[in-house]
Structure 1
């Protein structure tokens, strides 16, 4: 394995972290809108949304953490390969890939919860 192999992940990880940040910003905006809409009186559907939003915040934080860890490990792998420490570089690259996979699995779960949130909104529209 040479130095360019881990370098191939850099653009992918960067774009992934950007996508995660955008999901977080959208979620923060949803929370602000929900707060303005509900004010002091929180309906049952809003309580379900709040629970859903809390879960999603934790998931996005975890997704970002594993994404950043993957980026750091990928950088360390490149350094090791540059220093001709092949075994360490390969090991760090494998752990980087595992970290990226974990991040993506959390992202998949967050998407499922996001779909649940949309269904809650649809219930609100249907009943309201």
Structure 2
């Protein structure tokens, strides 16, 4: 396989957008955690503890997603530097490692999304129970 200086450079826009999406996800989770913390301080609702535990898992996954993407980005830059210095074999391995880290990041993202969807399904089922209970009262 022929690896030129432009091949790793093709990943730069994708990695940048990926990191932006991960940062937005992190900020949304941080806001939700702060909101749930204040709700729990007021109500001491034990149901919120399950949500907070779920959010703890998700925030750790997002941190790991970001770490893998950042390391992938750094190694991609390293592979470009190695290509510039005509260290072809090492550059190929570095580029392969950067692709592997990006794949791990995407798998973690998929896992975090599955946890998020499961949490939303629980919220919807609780809402359906409330709605059905209100209709039964009427």
> 1 CA distance for matches of 2:110 and 2:45?
29
SS at match of 2:43: coil
Give the aligned partner of residue 47 of structure 1.
Answer: 49
Cα gap change, 1:47 to 1:126, in 2 (>3 Å) = farther
> 2 CA distance for matches of 1:102 and 1:70?
10
The partner residue of 2:18 within 12, 16, 19 is 16
Higher alpha-carbon deviation: 110-119 or 12-21: 110-119
> How far did residue 125 of structure 1 move?
2.5
Q: CA RMSD in A?
A: 1.3
Give the aligned partner of residue 63 of structure 1.
Answer: 65
Cα deviation, 1:72-93, whole Å, max 9, x if unaligned, reads: 0000000000111100111100
> 2 CA distance for matches of 1:127 and 1:39?
25
> 2 CA distance for matches of 1:21 and 1:47?
24
> 2 CA distance for matches of 1:38 and 1:124?
18
Cα gap change, 1:98 to 1:66, in 2 (>3 Å) = same
> How far did residue 47 of structure 1 move?
1.4
Structure 2 unmatched ranges of 5 or more: 131-138
Structure 1 unmatched ranges of 5 or more: none
Greater Rg over alpha carbons, structure:
2
**Which one scores higher on RCO, CA 8 angstroms, separation ≥ 6?**
1
The partner residue of 1:74 within 76, 87, 101 is 76
Q: TM-score, normalised by structure 2?
A: 0.87
Q: Give the aligned length.
A: 128
> 2 CA distance for matches of 1:64 and 1:71?
10
Give the aligned partner of residue 135 of structure 2.
Answer: none
Cα deviation, 1:1-25, whole Å, max 9, x if unaligned, reads: 1000000001100100000000000
The partner residue of 1:99 within 98, 101, 111 is 101
> 2 CA distance for matches of 1:28 and 1:125?
24
Q: TM-score, normalised by structure 1?
A: 0.93
